[in-house]
């Protein structure tokens, strides 16, 4: 892409969105249209020091585009209601499903490539595995309204006869890293762990409420946000370098392909602070107990087959970078 290309980034004040904007800035892209709810003061430090041409409130995006009619080189749609404990589906339906349909249709009408965020929450309890084949998407049974909304959009996208010239939906697994200070309860376990260590000198992990998993041995595919934005950048460049053909359009897992335990993650958090581990276990809250994923691991073969060859941060490498360079110093990316 030309460095003066106009790129829309939705969710730009959020965690992954603001990291994506920073990565684009580092590559020389500054003609960015940042879309989000900019009235949330706790997100301000995520975006205010970034280079961009315009901030646009999410509810006014399509009006703004209709008035200004810019030539858009790429849309990176990361905006969503991501709270997995929000059980009012109508909220997810409006912000995650209908808004995404509007983004898709805009890209179709304006010949703009699209990268959008799906989620590993679509896989539910993992009854059908964690394979990003389009064949199983209709069968998936997410465990919460957030996951349902993301899967409903994936299903809708695959049913469309008209699609953006190039597009990729990315099923993010457990993303962690800088710029999540505003997320509070929904922040990563690393963020919560470091907060607990500094306050109490220990980390409390959820007990297992299943006989086949020991306490703290629940497994997740933890992926560092710097790898996530690297994949987004690689796909965007592939679109514009002619390395992406229409047959590659579709939905892709984005994790590391390696599941690790919450216990390992807590140990890595202590090491990032140069402390010895001190870990205890508490009951899981009732409101999430029957909606809890005990195991996720991305099958990454599809992205690899599409041509992505870079290695991912190991859990220890990613947590160490995050803790030392961001959480300890309260730095933003």
Residue tagged active-site, from 29, 106, 146, 326: 146
What class is the 6-175+222-255+298-310 domain?
alpha beta
Asked whether the beta carbons of 329 and 277 are under 8 A apart, the reply is no
Taking 70 as the pLDDT cut, the residues of the chain under it are: 82-86
Active site residue 146: yes
For position 239, what pLDDT does the model report?
Answer: 94
Which candidate, 85, 40, 37, 34, places its Cα nearest to that of 57?
37
CATH architecture of 183-219+258-296+319-327: Alpha-Beta Complex (3.90)
Burial category of 114 from C-beta neighbours within 10 Å (exposed 0-12, middle 13-18, buried 19 and up): buried
149-188: per-residue pLDDT in tens? 999 999 999 999 999 999 999 999 999 999 999 988 888 9
For position 80, what pLDDT does the model report?
Answer: 82
In the chain, where the domains are located: 6-175+222-255+298-310, 183-219+258-296+319-327
Residue 222 main-chain phi, psi, to 5 deg: -85, 125
Q: Give the distance, in angstroms, between the CA of residue 333 and the centroid of all CA atoms in the same chain.
A: 15
For position 319, what pLDDT does the model report?
Answer: 98
Residue tagged active-site, from 155, 183, 207, 291: 183
In angstroms, the CA 65 to CA 44 distance is 24
Active site residue 333: no
Q: Return the number of other C-beta atoms located less than 10 Å from residue 199's C-beta.
A: 8
In angstroms, the CA 141 to CA 280 distance is 32
In angstroms, the CA 80 to CA 36 distance is 9
For position 84, what pLDDT does the model report?
Answer: 65
First to last CA, the chain: 23
Does residue 124 come out as left (phi exceeding 0), alpha (psi in the -120 to 50 range) or beta?
A: left
For position 291, what pLDDT does the model report?
Answer: 76
For position 82, what pLDDT does the model report?
Answer: 67
Which candidate, 97, 35, 86, 38, places its Cα nearest to that of 65?
35
Cα–Cα distances (Å) from 108 to 74, 75, 185, in that order, read: 12, 11, 36
In angstroms, the CA 300 to CA 304 distance is 6
* Cβ partners under 8 Å of residue 104, min gap 6: 114, 116, 157, 160, 163, 164, 167
Beta bridge partners of 222: 174
In angstroms, the CA 107 to CA 61 distance is 13
For position 288, what pLDDT does the model report?
Answer: 82
How big is the chain by its Cα radius of gyration, in Å? 19
Q: What share of the chain is helix, strand, coil (3-state, %, to 5)?
A: 45, 15, 40
* 3-class secondary structure, 115: strand
- Which pairs with CB-CB distance under 8 Å and at least 24 residues apart come from 286-289? 287/85, 288/84, 288/85, 289/209
- Entry pTM: 0.94
């Amino acid at each position: 892409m030309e460095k003066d290309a106009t790129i829309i980034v939705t969710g730009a004040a959020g965690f992954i969105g603001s990291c994506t904007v920073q990565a684009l800035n580092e590559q020389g892209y500054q003609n960015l249209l940042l879309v989000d709810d900019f009235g949330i003061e706790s997100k301000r430090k995520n975006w205010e020091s970034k280079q961009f041409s315009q901030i646009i409130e999410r509810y006014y995006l399509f009006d703004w585009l209709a008035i200004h009619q810019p030539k858009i080189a790429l849309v990176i749609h990361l905006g969503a209601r991501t709270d997995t404990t929000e059980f009012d589906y109508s909220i997810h339906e409006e912000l995650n499903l209908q808004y995404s349909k509007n983004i898709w249709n805009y890209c179709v009408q304006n010949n703009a490539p699209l990268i959008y965020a799906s989620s590993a929450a679509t896989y539910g309890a993992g009854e059908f595995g964690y394979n990003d084949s389009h064949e199983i998407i209709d069968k998936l049974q997410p465990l919460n309204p957030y996951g349902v909304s993301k899967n409903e959009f994936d299903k809708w996208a695959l049913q469309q006869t008209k699609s953006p010239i190039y597009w990729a939906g990315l099923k993010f697994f457990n993303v962690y890293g800088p710029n999540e200070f505003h997320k509070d309860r929904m922040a990563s376990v690393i963020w919560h762990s470091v907060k607990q260590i500094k306050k109490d000198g220990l980390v409390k992990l959820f007990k297992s409420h299943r006989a086949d998993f020991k306490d703290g041995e629940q497994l997740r595919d933890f992926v560092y946000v710097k790898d996530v934005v690297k994949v987004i950048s690689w796909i965007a460049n592939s679109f514009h370098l002619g390395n992406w053909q229409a047959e590659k359009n579709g939905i892709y897992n984005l994790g590391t392909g390696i599941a690790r335990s919450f216990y390992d993650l807590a140990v890595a958090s202590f090491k990032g602070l140069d402390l010895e581990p001190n870990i205890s276990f508490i009951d899981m809250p009732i409101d999430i107990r029957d909606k809890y994923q005990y195991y996720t691991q991305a099958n990454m073969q599809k992205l690899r087959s599409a041509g992505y060859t870079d290695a991912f941060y190991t859990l220890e490498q990613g947590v160490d970078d995050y803790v030392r360079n961001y959480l300890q110093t309260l730095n933003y990316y």
